[in-house]
Amino acid sequence: IDRNGVKHFDLNVNKAQHEFFDGILTNTFSISSTYLGPTLLLTNGDNVSLNYTNNLSEEVTMHGHGMHVPANMDGTPHQTIAIGETWSAQYTVNQNACTNWYHPHTHHKTPHHVYQGLAGMIIIEDDESRALDLPNRYGIDDIPVVLQDRFFTADKTALDYSPTQMQISRGYIGDVFITNGAIEPTFEAEAKEIRFRLLNGSNSSVYDLGFSNGKSFKQIGGDNSLLEAPVSMTRLVLSPGERAEIVVDLSNDSGASFTLHEYKNNKTFMTVNVSKNATAVTSLPNTLAELDPIDLSLVTNTRKFNLGMQNMVFTINGKAMDMKRIDEVVPLGDTEIWEVTNMMGMDHNFHIHATHFRVIERNGSAANVLENEKGYKDVVYLKGKESVKLLVKMTDYADATVPYMYHCHFLEHENNAMMGQFTVV
Ligand code: C2O
Ligand code: CU
Ligand code: CU
């Protein structure tokens, strides 16, 4: 913290070597570490300076995914960090408690850079979330869980990022599943409520998550906020870029051992060993957050975003990403509906920078909106031919020249032009 009260985070973007497999060092990229980067713990209202120094031998950018910040602090392809340079994202944290993350957004390089290990979590707390008495002892009962999958070269000394055209379309889903950069790690849990902050940090895998013993859990938060009330579930689907905070009550599971499993690919992410000594009683509140009411009378404009493909290039509204073109100009403070339609048979999702939205309809009906997607979100998952209506509002930061992005967060799709740009004026 400097004399002006600004919290500085010095983050070195490095080449590194990480031990995924016993005794073998794999070449990676990382942020002040050997794979991935540190979790940044922020509080609403903090003045921060995230100082990223590029020690790679290529350009990079660093985007705060889910962060509500001015366009020139967003770390998009327009804020490149030259080799050897430092770029600082400076802003006042201006949003409610949630689990965000940071990752490169380098033009034509995002999936490559994320694959090498450039990503980290950003946890935001606020007075309301602290007053709720949720599990919040970082690393003890409040656990960041970055879920990814990777291919390695045969000798395991490098990560193998070489998707075929088919894998670019259908997903580049590795055969090794990793959690916080470790292969099937074990978490030694206290026998009490544990909060897991799950991030699908994969390039293009949809994860269908559950515990191997069928244990139910409660989702308490989505991408950009706590939910109004906990949602009880036994399985959770997360598409690339999405986050979910879940609480699992282990107070009656002393001595038990089970795994966090991924059912689509039948892989284990991690083992949870529960302590033999029960420690505490359950306290999860029934009301978590108050969200603004959905008021459609405020809507001034509807925009359509059709996800498709032309000549083997992914498109939004028939257009491939162009860094020099502004696709949409959105008035500051207006309430809009963005209708996103997946025209294709394959999965996509849709991410909007700078803001959070509410999902108000899925496939033509409010009744189809999933219970656990009713908070504020910034990524929404669309299976083949699905459509969603989003209530969108851009607030606080206008900039007529520097754009934000919207895109599919399947990174192979994003990198193959399924992305557009908008300014807020
Ligand atoms: Cu997670 Cu435009 O990014
Ligand atoms: Cu983003
Ligand atoms: Cu896509």
- Check pocket membership of 407 for ligand 1, CB cut-off 6 A: yes
Q: What is the mean pLDDT of residues 365-375?
A: 98
How far is 336 from 341, CA to CA, in rounded Å? Answer: 16
How far is 109 from 114, CA to CA, in rounded Å? Answer: 9
- Check pocket membership of 374 for ligand 1, CB cut-off 6 A: no
Three-state DSSP state, 173 = coil
Asked if pLDDT for residue 243 goes beyond 90, the answer is yes
Cα(20) to centroid(ligand 3), Å: 29
- Check pocket membership of 362 for ligand 1, CB cut-off 6 A: no
Report the complex ipTM.
0.99
Cα(290) to centroid(ligand 1), Å: 26
CATH architecture of 6-129: Sandwich (2.60)
The reported pLDDT for the residue numbered 185 is: 98
Domain ranges of the chain: 6-129, 142-278, 296-424
Give the model's confidence band at 186: pLDDT under 50 very low, under 70 low, under 90 confident, else very high.
Answer: very high
Residues with CB under 5 A from ligand 3 (ion): 348, 408, 410, 413
At the topology level, CATH places domain 142-278 in: Immunoglobulin-like (2.60.40)
- Check pocket membership of 267 for ligand 1, CB cut-off 6 A: no
Question: What are the backbone dihedrals phi and psi of residue 72, each rounded to the nearest 5 degrees, phi first?
Answer: -80, -5
The reported pLDDT for the residue numbered 280 is: 66
- Check pocket membership of 63 for ligand 1, CB cut-off 6 A: yes
Is the Cβ–Cβ distance between 26 and 17 less than 8 Å?
A: yes
- Check pocket membership of 353 for ligand 1, CB cut-off 6 A: yes
CATH 2.60.40.420 is right for the domain spanning 296-424:
yes
- Check pocket membership of 358 for ligand 1, CB cut-off 6 A: no
| pLDDT 10s digits, 127-173 | 999 999 899 999 999 999 999 999 999 999 999 999 999 999 999 99
Residue of the nearest CA to atom 3 in ligand 1? 65
Q: What is the mean pLDDT of residues 228-247?
A: 98
- Check pocket membership of 243 for ligand 1, CB cut-off 6 A: no
The reported pLDDT for the residue numbered 276 is: 86
Cα(85) to centroid(ligand 1), Å: 22
Ligand 1 atom with minimal separation from the 103 CA: 1
Ligand 1 atom with minimal separation from the 353 CA: 2
Give the model's confidence band at 282: pLDDT under 50 very low, under 70 low, under 90 confident, else very high.
Answer: low
Q: Do domains 6-129 and 142-278 have the same CATH topology?
A: yes
Residue of the nearest CA to atom 1 in ligand 1? 65
Higher pLDDT, 1 or 200: 200
Question: C-alpha dihedral over 88, 93, 97, 99, to 10 degrees?
Answer: -10
Cα(105) to centroid(ligand 1), Å: 7
Give the model's confidence band at 207: pLDDT under 50 very low, under 70 low, under 90 confident, else very high.
Answer: very high
| Strand spans (E) along 160-238 | 176-179, 182-183, 186-191, 193-200, 207-211, 217-221, 226-233, 236-238
| pLDDT 10s digits, 42-74 | 999 999 999 999 999 999 999 999 999 999 999
- Check pocket membership of 351 for ligand 1, CB cut-off 6 A: yes
Is the Cβ–Cβ distance between 167 and 412 less than 8 Å?
A: yes
| pLDDT 10s digits, 88-140 | 999 999 999 999 999 999 999 999 999 999 999 999 999 999 999 899 999 99
- Check pocket membership of 105 for ligand 1, CB cut-off 6 A: yes
- H-helix or E-strand containing 329? strand 328-330
Q: How many CB atoms lie within 10 A of CB 83?
A: 11
Ligand 1 atom with minimal separation from the 65 CA: 1
